[in-house]
Amino acid sequence: MNVTVKSAVRWLFGLWIAMPLLIFAQQRDSTFHLYILMGQSNMAGRGPLTEEYKSISHERVLMFAKNQQWVPATHPLHFDKPKAAGVGPGLSFGIAIAEAYPNATIGLVPCAVGGTSITKWTPGTFDPPTKTYPYNDAVARIMEAMKYGVIKGIIWHQGEGDSNPDAAARYIDRLSELIQRIRTVVGDPDLPFVVGELGRYKEQYDYINKQLPTLPTKVAHTRVVSSEGLWHHGDGTHFDSPSAAEYGRRYAVGMLQLQGKQTAVAVDTAGSDKIYLSQKEQAEGWELLFDGRDPAIRWQSVRGDRFPSAGWVVEDGVLTLLPGRKGGDIITREQFSDFELVLDFKLADSANTGIKYFVAPLENGKGEVTLNGPEYQLIDDFRHESVKSGKSPKTSTASLYLLYRPKRKILKDGAWNEARIVAKGKHVEHWLNGKKMLEYERGSPEFRKRVSGTKFNEYRTPYGEAAFGHILLQDHQDGAYFKNIKIRRLD
């Protein structure tokens, strides 16, 4: 019995049976769009496979399994190293492409092999650790997948194994040769090919990242997507799950642009001008955490790996928190240890918000784990009932919330103010409008004594003592405005 790809997908999901999906089509289905996933471990996916990510799927996104059967796409897509495989960029890429092409079914063909240098991606080359021939095996899978649909593009992430001066100098030439070989196999000289930067969290990866921008000037129909703001899961090499998922969406944007499709942005940025660092700021090591246009580059919802779809907007280069919209807190995708953070803020009438730092998972007495960290309080000192007229100084602006009061109240009413947090080792300082407001030592006897007298004492994990963590902007459903958000690492 012959069935089309599309009807087979509907049949499978309608019966919700967890069995392989067999495709019996004798001819290629022009509405079955295939994408090849190639590279090494960060394409294969090494992000922790939590219950949240196990449950992700899309009714029109399939994957070409190891046994060359089409099945619903779920994490992990790859099988190069079964004990290590986890969340990668492929599935979120496929879902984003499916949303852009509502009349197509998307087929993902995983071909990445962890630990492979680009020289392993040449015809006939054997990879002893995985006992595979990465290029030959990929070609075999591509040829088999092509029986069912049309190859629409390739996404590539590789280069960690080539991050040295000698290999990096030859990287673009080798990648160009690979692209031409694959295009010949597919029979499409203009096949879109999207390449991702290596993570920016390891200095040696700069060897490859500095070479990648030259690729589109040498090979047509290629694009390089940015890894800015993405983070690893603790090993310094592999993207964490939220970053891998975000990266997949960036790959999709790059692919859709090559295909001539207009792409949507996470937040309305109409009328916003991009912000740039001065040469002096760059020399001093400053990085923008918000460029005045797209907060999703460096920020995500505390509830998931996307930037909130409501509650936060960009207006004239200002990251604006709308009152009563329940957009939720946002956190940086990256984590920081020693740092100096500076931002300008303005509060709406009676507003309450805050900046948390060293935000990390903390376990409470019930065994529940939540993200929390020390808070630089931001509040309308003039009108908010809890602090006006000098009340509750430990919850006033620039305080370390509930723990340390600021030396004085110098908040400018209804105007822009500058908050600064300096964290070096255990020592932390809060500054407001150029004045030091308080300083303390994380984990000191005095600090722990103060914590013990607050609600933070419920945590089994020591509160405020994480070695590194996220930066968080709070949503208390009050209006607030943020701009010129920048950070520099003090390593």
Mean of all residue pLDDT scores within the chain: 92
Residue 268 has pLDDT above 80, yes or no: no
Q: Which pTM was predicted?
A: 0.86
The stretch 125-149 carries a mean pLDDT of 97
Mean pLDDT (whole number) for 58-78: 97
Give 87-132 pLDDT, tens digit per residue: 999 999 999 999 999 999 999 999 999 999 999 999 999 999 999 9
The CATH architecture one would assign to domain 5-258 is 3-Layer(aba) Sandwich (3.40)
- Average confidence (pLDDT) over 166-172: 97
Question: Does residue 12 register a pLDDT over 70?
Answer: no
Instruction: Examine the pLDDT at 49 and tell me if it is beyond 70.
Output: yes
Whether 9 shows a pLDDT value over 60: the answer reads: no
Q: What is the mean pLDDT of residues 446-473?
A: 97
Q: Above 60 in pLDDT, residue 270?
A: no
Query: Residue 28's pLDDT is what?
Result: 81
| Mean pLDDT value of segment 199-211 | 97
CATH homologous superfamily, domain 279-489: Exo-inulinase; domain 1 (2.60.120.560)
Domain ranges of the chain: 5-258, 279-489
Q: Cα 229–77–227 angle (5° rounding)?
A: 15
pLDDT band of residue 264 (cuts 50, 70, 90) is low
Q: Is the confidence at residue 282, as pLDDT, over 80?
A: yes
Q: What is the pLDDT of residue 272?
A: 54
Span between the terminal Cα atoms of the chain, in Å: 64
Higher local confidence (pLDDT), 9 or 412? 412
Q: Cα separation of 48 and 53, whole Å?
A: 9
Mean pLDDT of the region 419-444 = 98
Question: What is the Cα–Cα distance from 221 to 41, expressed in whole angstroms?
Answer: 24
Q: Write down the pLDDT at residue 262.
A: 74
What is the percentage of the chain residues whose pLDDT exceeds 90? Answer: 89
488 pLDDT above the threshold of 80:
yes
Q: Does residue 20 or residue 295 have the better pLDDT? A: 295
Note the pLDDT of residue 252.
97
Question: Is it the case that residue 15 has pLDDT exceeding 50?
Answer: no
For residue 491, what pLDDT band results from cuts at 50, 70 and 90? confident
pLDDT at 102: 97
